[in-house]
Structure 1
Amino acid sequence: MDDEIAELDSMQAAYKARVEEWIAAIRKEEELASVNHSVADVDKWEQAHFAEDEARNKVLDAKAEYEDALRRKFFDF
């Protein structure tokens, strides 16, 4: 049981860390959307969007893993 709780704690921490990375990526994209845009700035802004999207996908993966583990724990499936 303690191993199971430790594993859930680890998954929860990983999920929360991914959320923080996603928040940072959103803030970076927002920062780049708030400047006068040259072609180079637009390229940076577009890249920030791709980084934000990648971070979001990592959050969704971590969330799904954590939720699946909780379902196994509480509902045995």
Structure 2
Amino acid sequence: FRPSLGIQVMSSHSRHLFYAPLFHPSLSPKDHADAQLGGLDESAHQNHKAFHYSEHEVKNLVNKRKKSLAKKYGALNSLKIEA
């Protein structure tokens, strides 16, 4: 038995298009992770710096991921390249 594509994606980390390492110089991702692990609301930490990507960068990264998934799962409608 092979789980459906949707189940595989939702149960894996592959659904994350962008990786925000905990060791980022701003320490924002680490502070956020510490707050979550401590069961605290995100307002419990004040360091909310983020990674910012341009629209063009996001589109390129999404298309790269879609191409990778299309090689694995075929030409699904949901994996069409973003124009």
Shared fold, TM over 0.5: no
- TM-score scaled by length of structure 2: 0.31
Larger radius of gyration between Structure 1 and Structure 2? 1
- TM-score scaled by length of structure 1: 0.33
